[in-house]
Amino acid sequence: MPEGANPVADYELGLRLLNARATQRVLGSLGDPYALVLRGADDPYPLYAAIRERGPIYHSTTGSWVTAAPEVIAEVLADPRWRMSGPDGSPVAEQPLPFYGYGTLGAEADEHMRLHAHWRPLVDPEALAAHRKTVERECLARLDRVAGGDLMADYAWPVATAATGALLGVPAAALPRYAECCAGAEALPDSLLAAQPLALVRQIEDAVAGLDGLFGGAPGTPDGTERPDRAVRVLLSAAAVPATAHLVGNAVHALLAEPGRWAALCRDPDLASAAVAETLRYDPPVQVEIRVAAAPVELAGTDLAAGSHLVMISAAAGRDGARHPEPDRFRLDRQAESEPLTFAGGLHHLPVAPLVRAQAEVALRILAEARPNLRPSGAPVYRRRAPVVRGPVELPVLGLGET
């Protein structure tokens, strides 16, 4: 057992997490589609359709209100009464199935104002234009030495890590530790909704602490209120690196799933931006947004009390047939939405969204130019209990190491 570990605390937390997972399984077995989402599925979109059929909003047996209606999601995202934390800014009380309302760094308006000056220079248009050159170099360098056949482990994750690390000034010697911490924090958003195994929870804690340490934090030092630049770098590392890797993985999986799609991109690599936009509609890396009512509010004809938990299945909006013709088809010629609901969910996405899109566009374009013979060699593997973050753990391909 690690030095300083508390076996009693670990036992109690582990038992609580185990009970929560068991309860979610039971509620899913009784037919609650949102509880089934929490359990995890390789293809969650049929479950999203079942949620949509329950109306614009419904009260899940898990204790949360749930919506997959695009108009309701857009209304909530524009309403300041819906926050990432409780009405007084503190973590919200737990529900029968714990809804971990810890909030997200930089999500609220006051946090946004405090951090804005520190993240804006990193992702303004001029900075991103220069950063695209860095991403391109990292992609080409990775392809020059790739030897495996897993698109995620051999391309998407290394490129996302190296490119984001370069933007944030991570020294080359620290990149292996940085990559380890970014991967270790991948399940953080999922842990806020779906109880994870104790070992994974401890891994997430260690990973976030490791990122903080890499950017200048140390045990016993003041928290991020005195170092907003460090807080921004931890946020971008924990959020943008996994989202970039998953966006690339989801895009490549969709492009390889139907003959002709990958070939079309290879013929015109400038379609990479269209491929990223279509992936954000069809299979985005962030599937769910979470909010808490800071005051009593009426939503979709339903009166909700302050402190009510709302889970918005933002990924379902992209498969809504009323908004998108042939919603279950991936099409490079589709007219992209000007403001997709993915990455529209709050102030904490403002620094993440432009960075993720830019990095994914470059990664796809370079891959299409350099590996026209890329093809699938097996089914993707997904994590379980991942209701928020979606992307393959493994994506077997052939042709990745070809020149």
Question: What would the mean pLDDT of 80-106 be, rounded to a whole number?
Answer: 49
Does position 100 have pLDDT exceeding 50, yes or no? Answer: no
Contact criterion met (CB below 8 Å) for 351 and 118: no
Whether the per-residue pLDDT at 221 is higher than 60: the answer is no
91: pLDDT strictly greater than 70: no
> What pLDDT was estimated at residue 220?
46
Residue 45's pLDDT is: 96
- What pLDDT is recorded for position 375? 96
Asked if the model's pLDDT at residue 397 lies above 90, the reply is yes
Mean pLDDT, the chain, integer: 85
Q: Is the pLDDT of residue 361 over 80?
A: yes
Whether pLDDT at 48 is above 70: yes
Q: How confident is the model at residue 65 (pLDDT cuts 50, 70, 90)?
A: very high
Averaged pLDDT, 266-276: 97
**How much is the pLDDT for 99?**
31
- Predicted pLDDT of residue 117: 84
Residue pLDDT, tens place only, 165-209: 999 999 999 999 999 999 999 998 888 888 888 888 889 989 999
pLDDT tens digit sequence for 121-135? 999 999 999 999 999
Structure confidence at residue 196 (pLDDT): 85
Question: For 312-325, what is the mean pLDDT?
Answer: 90
What tokens appear for 255 in the block? 């492009």
Condensed to tens digits (0 to 9), the pLDDT of residues 320-356 reads: 888 889 999 999 999 877 666 676 655 557 788 899 9
pLDDT at 1: 45
Over residues 237-258, the pLDDT tens digits come to: 999 999 999 999 999 999 999 9
Q: Quick one: what percent of the chain has pLDDT higher than 90?
A: 60
Mean pLDDT of 361-374: 97
Q: For residue 264, what pLDDT band results from cuts at 50, 70 and 90?
A: very high
pLDDT tens-digit series, residues 130-166: 999 999 999 999 999 998 999 999 999 999 999 999 9
Residue 67 pLDDT exceeds 60: yes
Give the per-residue pLDDT at 370. Answer: 97
Percent of the chain with pLDDT over 70: 83
Highest mean pLDDT among 35-44, 101-110, 344-353, 359-368: 359-368
Q: With bands split at pLDDT 50, 70 and 90, how would you rate the model's confidence at 290?
A: confident
Residue 92 has pLDDT above 50, yes or no: no
Residue 339's pLDDT is: 66
